[in-house]
Amino acid sequence: MDFFEAQERARKRTTKLVVLFSLAVLATIFASYVAALSVGGLLSARSAYIPWFYWDPQLAGYISVGVIGIVAIASLYKWSQMRHGGSAVAVMVGGRRVATNTTDLRERRLLNIVEEMAIASGVPVPAVYVLDEEPGLNAFAAGLTTSDAVVAVTRGTLEKLNRDELQGVVAHEFSHILNGDMRLNVKLTAIVFGILVIGLIGRGILRSLGRGRIRSGGGKNKGGGIALILVIGLAMMIIGYFGYFFGRLIQAAVSRQREFLADASAVQFTRNPTGIAGALKKIGGYALGSRLLDNRSAEIGHFFFAQSFRSSLGGLWATHPPLPERIRAIEPRWDGELFEPPELVAVERESFSSAGLAGSGGSGRRGRPASASARTPVAFDPIAIVAGIGALTETHFTQAQAKLAALPPGLRDAAHDTAAAPALVFALLVGGATADLRERQLATIKQHSGEAAASATSHLLGDIAQLPADARLPLLQICLPTLRALDRAALDRFVGTLDELVHADASVSVFEFALQKMLVHQLDLLRRPRQAVEFHSFRAVVPDVNAVLSTLARLNAGDEPTAQAAFAAGAAQIPLIAEQLRLATAAGTTLERLDTALDRLALSSLPIKQRVLVAAAQVVGADRTVSVEEGELYRAIAAALDCPVPGLAVAPAA
């Protein structure tokens, strides 16, 4: 699956959504106009002389403004509820955030699967939530960007699925993260709520009337006033649900076809079709299936792995294809049997490895040796690297498992501990320093974050010394959900200390730049609102493209001709501006200039980002190999452009 093609398809679906939404609003306006004429006819003494329907421009104008205003305000209100990303959606439906240092074996297994897939696909590790009150089998991914995404599963999913099945479900949700579906889902939720709100207002009026909370004036007009309120409330409820009918149709139409694609991507990622197929069969075998008990979940039914509510109108409102169709798409020879699953998957009685707590694959991967390709010299193929952006592939997954399995247990435990995770990031920076600089950096940590942080950092340095260089960024990815859980004061202390450490020796290394850039961007430390695309022309970003390609070309070039050749290989990938690109001098090639360029390129259109990453990969791959530094800088560049790059196979340090 091409990442940029998927993002473009998501953009087109958004356009389609806007068109359908506009039609639903027009239908609501029409229904409101007819209702206003009917109510007017019933209450007017002139009703005998008024046709049942006629065109009144002034009335139509008032109704149009009123309906559009109500729908817009309601949609913006719902959007504001979800503006904080996936965590807001998960909490809205009763989700509980899983602590990264949880000791619950089922939760630990889920976290490990999510970490494996995040590292394999190159996205920041999402926060994980559990819907404790939901015994059905279901899951969803939510968020506005990959940096604020979450993966949520029901209690039934944790208890009733084995590791392979859970892996298939999580891979399905990662497909939605990578294909740009999450933001579309949030938009769809806000839109459907906006259409529904008129009906909710009408229902509220009727309930208030039934409870005697609405008072009319005294005397003979009292009965007429109550009758008017009753008619208005009933009309609003009918109008609202008329619009809601079309809103549900939109929700179903937009979401159904995506599920087949996500299922196929999950199979491609895990190379284990029995996992996701087994999960679907268990959904069909259980009486409750994938249905959720909380009525709030119906608002986000299109987010879920499987149908979360009973669909009415013969499946017309169904947000997911029928289970048999999904299973047969995965297993064409399926015999139609939905087996009766065991009551619980007894994780506590499984071995450490088979329970998925050692980071190894399930039954679909048994017998395969752990991959060490991350530290084996391999040819670097720029085209394959760009094609792997946002991709779900077995190779990346196997490499991620190998990297996680090779991490010292003490470091992985620290990454999951809110008290130790900041110290772990500090240790990644301090670990490569000289003895004198290390002492000064530890003193800086003590000054800005306290003696406990300095002591914890010092304690981790032994394990850091044994850490392969290409495992540093994956370890940083694991830290992200833990760091997001810090309160604002702790996060501010962490960021301040981090900046002091990076500049402790009055220079910034490539690794320090990559680490800080990825943390600032993926943790949204600057709290910047999502910005719209500003640059649609390559000519508008020539200096910025030049800075990216020049930095990469000079990174490991031994001489000027080598740097020139690498730069030319990248510039040739952007023919529209190739003649305007010139390799910057060594003095003019700075990480500070690169930082400014990336901030501007982040505001560019997807085609520009894609070609920049293609060109950058060509520069890196000019010698057909990739060093650790080149791999880290390339991933930092891609992260700044919101393009997830899986871990790169790198040549070992000399």
Residues ≥6 apart with Cβ < 8 Å to 89: 82, 142, 143, 150, 186, 300, 303
- How many helices (H) and strands (E) the chain has is answered by 24, 4
Quick one: which of 334, 365, 327 has its CA closest to 163?
365
Give how far Cα 100 sits from Cα of 114, 125, 463, 483, Å. 11, 11, 20, 10
514: buried, middle or exposed (CB in 10 Å: 19+, 13-18, 0-12)?
buried
**DSSP H or E segment with residue 128:** strand 127-131
Neighbouring CB atoms inside 10 A of 593's CB total 18
Quick one: which of 450, 454, 517, 527 has its CA closest to 490?
450
Tokens coding 426: 């500090």
**CA–CA gap between residue 181 and residue 304 (Å, rounded):** 12
- DSSP state letter for 600: H
Note the helical H segments in 82-126: 86-92, 105-121
Tokens coding 348: 């506590």
**CA–CA gap between residue 581 and residue 558 (Å, rounded):** 21
Strand (E) positions, 503-586? Answer: none
Q: Which residues are catalytic?
A: 173
Tokens coding 303: 């987010």
**CA–CA gap between residue 583 and residue 546 (Å, rounded):** 7
Largest separation between any pair of C-alpha atoms in the chain? 98
